[in-house]
Amino acid sequence: MRYVDLSTGTQYMGNPTMFESVSRYLMTNDQFTDTLFEWSRPLKASVVIGANQNVYSELNLDYIKQNHIQITRRAGGGGAVYVDSGNLTYAFVDTDDGTNYMNFKKYATPIINVLKKLGVNAALTGRNDLTVDGKKFSGMAAFKIGNRFYCGGTLMIDVNLDAADKALNPPKSKLASKGVKSVHSRVTNIRPYFSAKYQDISINDITEIILKEIFKTDTIKEIPTHVMTEIDWQKVNDITGHDYQDETWTMGKRYHDDNFHSNHYEGVGNVEISFSVNDGIVSHAKLFGDFNKANGNLKEIEDKIAGVPFEKDNLEEAFSHTHLADNIGNLTPAQMADLMVNPVYQQKQQEG
């Protein structure tokens, strides 16, 4: 096992998706075949949104612009998160041996051990959340390329929670009535839970304790380390440039549809549909959401809904051929038809 030192890449780390790019590089480059550990802190505040989310309905774009917060879009699904220099992002890159991929407990354990030393009674809750006192301070994620995978998470230590709350809530908060906003109120920074002795510990000192725990040593210098070289960074930058820095990819196209309907489904997430109806026929439909289906194909659904009469029965028949379980999650055709025809789901979008 080796520690990958990213401190040589300060000039590149301004982009919040750079950490994901580094991870992809460590997963796919032939020179790395062992278990690796890396960590990073975002230099600037940014919002990272999921692959299928609609920035115009998820974010407060005015607030984000005024406060110079960056927006980037990750390749995977899931919801929007706010990160700033109060976050500590860490990851393991490893080779699948049949027991370790998606084994969040294995990779969370050293982190939990360190937090316990600092006085935080942290626990792995559900499949991949770290919580204290019932409040979430870390979400974990994993993804795989070939037989190599990434498993990591973000620790909220000194995050500006007020800014996070504002950036992630569009004006006329569309989700206030649906209980989704409360997700934000159930997150916390962990610093208030540190014991008195560690109240003022710096994030860098925390990472040193984490490294010592993971590598079972008292001396940082003894840790086998790969310091990222300029050549490494160039290759990482190539990955970033190709995948993540496209403005149209980040912002998405602004659709001027007549209708925008949204609802939260337990176990699936938010599902949103922007659509227009002409003379009783659906003329255009575009899906958004924070659901997480790695190989979900939303276009397959959108194409089959265009041209369908705007009536519950007809839409239900159409949705029954759209492989909802594979493309979005555990939703019935009737629920999707209802999302479109029932006006209670109508939401307003901000201009953008």
Partner 1 sequence: MANPIDDSNYLWREETSEGHTRIGLNDEARNQIGQISYASFPKNLNEVKVGEEFFSFEGAKAVEDIHSPQSGKVARVNTELLDHPDYLNDADKEKNWIIELY
Residues at the site binding partner 1, with contacts judged by CB under 8 A: 278-281, 283, 304, 306-309, 311, 313-314, 317-318, 321
How far apart are CB 183 and partner 1 at their closest, in Å?
A: 37
CB-nearer residue toward partner 1: 4 or 318: 318
Q: How far, CA to CA in Å, does 245 sit from each of 29, 103, 226, 237?
A: 21, 31, 27, 10
**Cα separation, 45 vs 30, whole angstroms:** 33
Could you tell me the smallest distance in angstroms from the CB atom of residue 248 to partner 1? 24
CB of 287 to partner 1, least distance (A): 17
Cβ closer to partner 1: 208 or 313?
Answer: 313
CB of 336 to partner 1, least distance (A): 15
Residue 32 and residue 57 in contact, taking contact as beta carbons nearer than 8 Å: no
Of 4 and 315, nearer to partner 1 (C-beta) is 315
Strands 46-49 and 70-73: parallel
User: Shortest Cβ distance from residue 278 to partner 1 (Å)?
Assistant: 8
Residue among 205 and 313 whose Cβ is closer to partner 1: 313
**DSSP symbols for 3-67:** EEE-GGGTTTTTSTTHHHHHHHHHHH-TT--S-EEEEE--SS-EEEE-TT--HHHHS-HHHHHHT
Q: Is 331 in contact with 320 (CB distance < 8 Å)?
A: no
Q: Provide CB contacts within 8 A for 167, sequence distance 6+.
A: 45, 47, 59, 60, 63, 64, 67, 69, 82
Cβ 348 vs Cβ 274: under 8 Å = no
Considering the complex, state which of residue 200 and residue 279 has its C-beta at the smaller distance from partner 1: 279
- Judged by CB, which is closer to partner 1: 192, or 307? 307
Token digits of residue 140? 């974990």
In the complex, the smallest distance separating the C-beta of residue 273 from partner 1, rounded to whole angstroms, is 16
